[in-house]
Amino acid sequence: MSLPIDLLPPDAVRDTKVDPRSLFNRHNSLCSSCNSLFAQKMNLEDDVSQLRLDAAHLTRSNQCLEKAVTDQNQLLSRVANALEIKFDKQDSKAVRAVSPVGDLMFFSDSMKRWRKDFSLKEMFIQYFTDQCFEGYELEKSSNEFKNKLPSEKNIIKGQFKRLKKTIKVMRYFCDSFPKPIPQEPSSLVTWQRQLSTLAEQAMNALMNALTGEIPNPPKLITPAYLLKVGVVKDWENPESPSAKSPPKDTPNAILVHFGFNL
């Protein structure tokens, strides 16, 4: 502690002595406080550095979790779609999707909604659900199609050709031709169930036929495979002993569309 000697009389502090140990004690106290503050500063810097590492780790973990959730949602969506088709659990949105009261879509617009990994069974179901035959004929006669570039027209024609081939082959193994989409919304679920059953039966019969004709056929049959496999050409050849025919209740317009002789 210092004394205000400037305010004291001149002789008040004469011959006054100060113990130097008090200065050393003061210095030691200041040094101790400084060292303590420096240690606290170093500890805080270590804590901040660790927090930054933890934040970076949490950010990476969060990104991995978000990607995993996205992948799981996509997988669950595919499983849900498969279960809806297999067990015929149709919600109101699905019913509206096959409702005949809506506008008929162009074939190319229908194809944009299809997944790229559709099985032959799913293609068969969607072909009749989306009314692809009618949609293709409607699109061909539209001004939009006429104004497209030749390359765009060829893409649409190629897509329909491959799908048409697939449906034609599967129809060889159908007991009956799918019924038209009912006008009553209350009958849509029953119609969808019948269509799914017919597609399942046709798919199983097709696989059995391929197994009997071809050694070790692929487990996943694609439209591209049906276009090139030889036994399918024999099924389509009326003069071949292996020739097959469509269901007897197939409408004449469909027979002409698929190239069958009336």
Q: pLDDT tens digits, residue range 129-139?
A: 888 888 888 89
Sign of CA dihedral 131, 132, 137, 140: positive
Tokens of 82: 């498969």
pTM score above 0.75: no
251 assigned to some structural domain: yes
Q: How confident is the model at residue 81 (pLDDT cuts 50, 70, 90)?
A: low
**How many CA atoms lie less than 13 Å away from 171 in the CB half-sphere?**
25
Q: Of residues 102 and 261, which shows the higher confidence score?
A: 261
241 assigned to some structural domain: yes
29 assigned to some structural domain: no
Question: 19: which DSSP letter?
Answer: -
State percent of the chain over pLDDT 70.
Answer: 80
The boundaries of the domain holding residue 128 are 91-257
Sign of CA dihedral 157, 207, 232, 201: negative
77 assigned to some structural domain: no
Question: In whole angstroms, what is the distance from residue 63 CA to residue 242 CA?
Answer: 57
How many domains is the chain partitioned into structurally? 1
Using the predicted structure, report yes or no on whether residue 177 has a pLDDT greater than 80.
yes
10 assigned to some structural domain: no
38 assigned to some structural domain: no
Write down the pLDDT at residue 97: 42
63 assigned to some structural domain: no
Using the predicted structure, report yes or no on whether residue 41 has a pLDDT greater than 80.
yes
CA-derived radius of gyration, the chain: 40
Q: What is the pLDDT of residues 201-221, one digit of tens each?
A: 888 888 888 887 777 777 777
Phi-psi bin for 231: left (phi > 0), alpha (psi -120 to 50), beta?
alpha
Please, which contacts does 137-142 make with residues 24 or more away whose CB atoms are closer than 8 Å? 138/104, 138/106, 138/107, 139/106, 139/107, 139/108, 142/106
138 assigned to some structural domain: yes
Sign of CA dihedral 108, 110, 115, 119: negative
